[in-house]
Amino acid sequence: MKINENARVVLEKRYLKKDDLGVLTETVEGMFDRVSSAIAEPDRLYNPETDIESVKKEFYDIMTNLEFLPNSPTLMNAGRPLGQLSACFVLPVEDSMEAIFEAIKQAALIHKSGGGTGFSFSRLRAKGSTVNSTGGVASGPISFMKVFNTATEAVKQGGTRRGANMGILQIDHPDILEFIDCKNNGKEITNFNISVAITEKFMQAVEKNEEYELLDPKTGECLKKLSAREVFDKIVMSAWLNGEPGIIFIDRLNRDNIVPSQGRIESTNPCGEQPLLPYESCNLGSINLVEMLKKKSDGTYEIDYKKLGRTIDTAVHFLDNVIDANRYPIEMIDKTTKDTRKIGLGVMGWADMLLYLKIPYSSDQAVALADKVMGFITERGREKSAELAKERGTFPLFSVSVLKNKTKVRNATVTTIAPTGTLSIIAGVSSGIEPIFAYVYIRNVMDGTELIEVNPILKEELTNRGLYNDELMRKISEEGTLAHIKEIPDDIKRIFLSAHDVQPEWHIKTQAAFQNHTDNAVSKTVNFSKDATVNDVREVYMLAYKLGCKGVTIYRDGSRDSQVLNIGKVNNEGSSQETVQEIAEKCAPKGEEAFGKIVPRPRPEITNGMTEKVRIGCGNLYITVNYDQKGICEVFTNTGRHGGCPSQSEATSRLVSLTLRSGIDADTIIEQLKGIRCPSTIRQAGMKVTSCPDAIARTIQKVVHYQNGNGGTGVIPVAVTEEQEAPSVSSEIRYCPECGTKVEHEGGCVVCRQCGYSKCG
């Protein structure tokens, strides 16, 4: 296979089978063989004489050639005992205590199986409403969102794949103002993305500067009127502050609801691209557009539409089979999913494809091509779905559908544009339809050297012109863009745009072009620079409404910095006096001999620091790593309520602290501790470390990466004690909690392109 080394590392860490000791028992090729075998098998349900080996080879080839990849749960679980293959679920939340806690239980089962859940809390009565059965007062939807959040945290702490939620409240709910602000402190509802469900009527009131009604969820009675423009501005302000809430245009989702007789679409999956009915699930997959190019005789590229068509046919066949191969976590989801048989075929590598075609992302030419490519994918996908319907039958609820052309199809929906996060790392291409976040990454390796990773298209272009060198790549990495680097010709700068070179309106124009030909919705993050104004965000929201998008997610660079703690930055400018600390450090220089022996420098009075909670074989270990301007200087540990080996952990951390302040390089200490194995830890499945010393080494390594990522003076996430709830990734993270690389914000999700970490699993 032609996967790169980074992709192989991600697959080995997150996808391939391991035994109880964490030892790999599967190769990359073996994973694709397992998946293709499991997904080919449902062909027998429709034709017992099918040549299963031929179908399996067809599926195997498009995956190993990196032409198409299904969503992560399919790669992880197909052909394995769990067998849960879908990423997207929506559950109803009815207005009763019994129904609310039933939804929490069902969500826990879905998270345990590797899926993400969407909820609308719009049916819940408003805060302060009377509860007739008890004579009490309702606490409102936000209070119950906190209960869902706690349950999700508990499932995550159980060591399973991370659970993610979407929480939605309709704009006319009486508690909408509280909902808009519910994530502003960054400490609550941390396992949710949130979006406001906005109606066309509300947007019309915004444009006309009129009032709109807040309605009782139970009776529909008008309880109050608010200024639509003021509420809209409140949404915009909150999004400017921390990226949330997003918005979804709920009437547009229901306009395209294929089976309105089955109910109203109220929510989407966690990243917003998949609107679903209550108890529906959907399985997604993405075509790698880079592999759909062919090189012409003059050395330029063009889209190979014949190959693209063949790939679409195989992908639709594959995704329809997933519905039958799937083992659903709840019986009602099994039935509802098979009633509509929705699939979501999307794309990845869009930005890379534009580079090969020498088309700027921010151009009318790119927008026109997006319209053409996605139009082709959806039309061809529907044709294949119609072909499958002739062989296998339509989806069961087809007779009551509102499909415009009334063609008999197998699948109620065919296309979705999802964030491709880890999948695009495996394929080695840009994510989804996002512009490229960064063209050069500097990766730190264990021996203290740096590995420069460069976008292969840029590397080829610069090499061909004789411009490629390591010094220039470092400069690009530091700048984050090619725009201001004088050594690079203007024609290259015009094409090789990074995410922050793309003006916000072009993000929306691109999203709208894909949405024009997408059955479901489009996941896309509009990136803003740190100095973007509130009005910039407002204009993007209005443009998305006018261009027909179904939702908007934005992220302003650095907008969540207030959620991180930077302790100990003391400004002593203008002071000529030496402190006692400075004098002491002069008397015992770092790493030098003083009076015939190595003397550790004293512990600083003020430090920066990070505390990480790590699950070990005998409970939880809390590891704190502190540093000052001279480097890491202190490590200490604390065991959780369930015990452990506190004396040994404390001894290890004391010796490590002493060694660090004696001038021994942190990488040397990491090398000595990492990989030490403890029987109580390695005998348990799902552990990310092999012992307490290994855990300490890994936490030190993360701090080293954080410092490197921030030029040596990096901001570290808030320290957490056992009594506190850790801030979620969605609230504060700018650097990967596993490897320290700067993360990318994508469709309401966060992904690390170095190690494959994803907030959404």
Residues serving a catalytic function are 269, 271, 273
C-alpha 182/C-alpha 180 separation (Å) is 6
Helix (H, G, I), strand (E, B) or coil at 14: helix
Helix (H, G, I), strand (E, B) or coil at 687: coil
C-alpha 33/C-alpha 1 separation (Å) is 13
Burial class (CB in 10 A: 0-12, 13-18, 19+), 582: exposed
- CA angle 380/386/389 to nearest 5° reads 145
C-alpha 547/C-alpha 642 separation (Å) is 55
Q: How far is CA 411 from CA 143, 341, 521, 671, in A?
A: 38, 5, 16, 53
Residues 6+ apart with CB under 8 A from 460: none
CA dihedral (290, 296, 300, 302) positive or negative: negative
Cβ proximity of 590 and 601 under 8 Å: yes
- Residue 700: enclosing H or E segment and its boundaries? helix 692-709
The pair of three-digit structure tokens given for residue 702, joined into one six-digit string: 């993360």
The phi and psi torsions of 563 (rounded to 5 degrees) equal -90, 5
C-alpha 747/C-alpha 598 separation (Å) is 52
Angle between helix axes 350-357 and 364-392 (nearest 10 degrees) is: 130
Closest by CA to 114, choosing from 326, 288, 275, is 326
14-24 b/e (C-beta count within 10 Å ≥ 16 → b): bbbeeeeebee
Residues 6+ apart with CB under 8 A from 622: 611, 612, 613, 614, 637, 638, 639, 640, 720, 721, 722
C-alpha 684/C-alpha 642 separation (Å) is 16
Task: Find where tokens 């969820």 sit.
Answer: 217
The pair of three-digit structure tokens given for residue 469, joined into one six-digit string: 């060198």
Cβ proximity of 756 and 603 under 8 Å: no
Residues 6+ apart with CB under 8 A from 535: none
Name residue 662's beta-bridge partners. none
C-alpha 641/C-alpha 614 separation (Å) is 13
C-alpha 146/C-alpha 457 separation (Å) is 45
C-alpha 42/C-alpha 50 separation (Å) is 10
- Residue 616: enclosing H or E segment and its boundaries? strand 608-616
Q: How far is CA 176 from the centre of its chain?
A: 26
Name residue 281's beta-bridge partners. 89
Count Cβ atoms below 10 Å from residue 578 Cβ, excluding itself: 11
- Please report, as a single letter, which amino acid is at residue 559: S
The phi and psi torsions of 242 (rounded to 5 degrees) equal -145, 15
The pair of three-digit structure tokens given for residue 530, joined into one six-digit string: 């740190």
